Amino acid sequence: MKKSSPTLHDVAALSGVSHQTVSRVINNPETVLPETRSRVENAIRQLDYHANMIARSMAKGRSFTLACISPNLTDYTFASIIEGAETEARQKGYFFMSASAPDETSFKLMVKELVANRRTDGMMVINPYIDNRAEFIPQNATTVLLGARPRSTAYATVCLDDKAASQIATRHLIENGHRQIVHITGPLLEDCSQDRCSGYEETLIAAGITPNAAYRVEGDWSATSGYRAVQHLLQTGLPFSALLAQNDRMAIGAMRALREAGRRVPEDVSVIGFDDMPLASYFDPPLTTMRQDTFEMGRIAARLLIEEIEKPETPRAQLFLAAELVLRSSTAVRAK
């Protein structure tokens, strides 16, 4: 910024009080005489004075800033979490910065910058276990984890109830008469992929169906991996009438492979995804999916983080959010 701005002293000079009194009307208005106060307030308005946050941070030893680190910013799920967190942070008077760290190295660097430089009062980490990044979170950093099953009580954690969501999806398919259900998973080292697998298998078993490992194909969340998974399955000749993909992108890729192979969705194969990403209803056919409220997830995480910052003794919450089945046209009753 180019022009230097008025300081506490300028306001003090103009209103004929000490700079400390000015600080008081800003921070503890009730401790100063109404008369002096209004005089100071006038001066503030007149000079268009705004506190210098840097100076305030320095004096208070806090930055009033929250940071959210995610693998990237372009993935809708992440972006939406971030928007939720930002909304909450701003509302509670905190600054908010989002940053992306695609890999461990950049994560490590970023956390170092953030924590060692005392840039933030606390941080939120989205998908802390996609690699070993969680190991680089310093003990002294107030942190909330997002999008992975809690592994330690040291951190507050917010994630989807993946198992329950997967159960609902699987049950939906079974209720429509499907028994041979392909499952395209995310990377199996991610907690959520595993939990969704358990949900799927348990539901199968509860319905008297023995899970068959051949029906499970591991993907990497990309549409291409969903596409390839189905191509692979088709080659093996394994019969199936339904498909559960652990995210919408893979479901989209799968639908394309099915279409190319001449299998109709949902007549020949029912497909259900996860997330309810934008335009999910614009694919052909519109995608049935498990919607997760990522914006809300972000809000909640920010709320927990702020609570922990302001009241460090708060016990760490571990929250599981519910997903909701959104019925569209990619699933149907199994043809006789």
Partner DNA sequence: ATGAAAGCGCTAACAA
Partner DNA sequence: TTGTTAGCGCTTTCAT
Is residue 32 within 8 Å of 25, Cβ to Cβ? yes
26 or 97: CB nearest DNA? 26
Among 20, 54, 210, 262, binds a second copy (CB under 8 A): 54
Minimum separation from the CB atom of position 88 to DNA (A):
23
60 or 151: CB nearest DNA? 60
Is residue 131 within 8 Å of 120, Cβ to Cβ? no
Of residues 192 through 251, those in contact with a second copy by CB under 8 A are 223, 249
Residue 133 binds DNA (CB under 7 A): no
Strand order of the β-sheet with 318-321 is: 95-100, 65-70, 122-126, 143-146, 156-160, 318-321
Q: Which distant-in-sequence residues (6+ apart) come within 8 Å of 128 by Cβ? A: 134, 137, 145, 146, 147, 148
Is residue 287 within 8 Å of 251, Cβ to Cβ? yes
Among 14, 32, 160, 271, binds DNA (CB under 7 A): 32
Among 1, 2, 3, 35, binds DNA (CB under 7 A): 35
6 or 285: CB nearest DNA? 6
Minimum separation from the CB atom of position 285 to DNA (A):
58
Q: Give the helix/strand (H/E) hosting 39.
A: helix 34-47
How far, in Å, CA of 104 to CA of 106, rounded? 6
29: partner contacted, choices a second copy, DNA, none (Cβ within 5-8 A by kind): none
72: partner contacted, choices DNA, a second copy, none (Cβ within 5-8 A by kind): a second copy
How far, in Å, CA of 155 to CA of 142, rounded? 8
**Chain positions contacting DNA, by CB under 7 A:** 4, 7-9, 16-21, 23-24, 26-27, 31-33, 35-37, 51-52, 55-56, 58-61
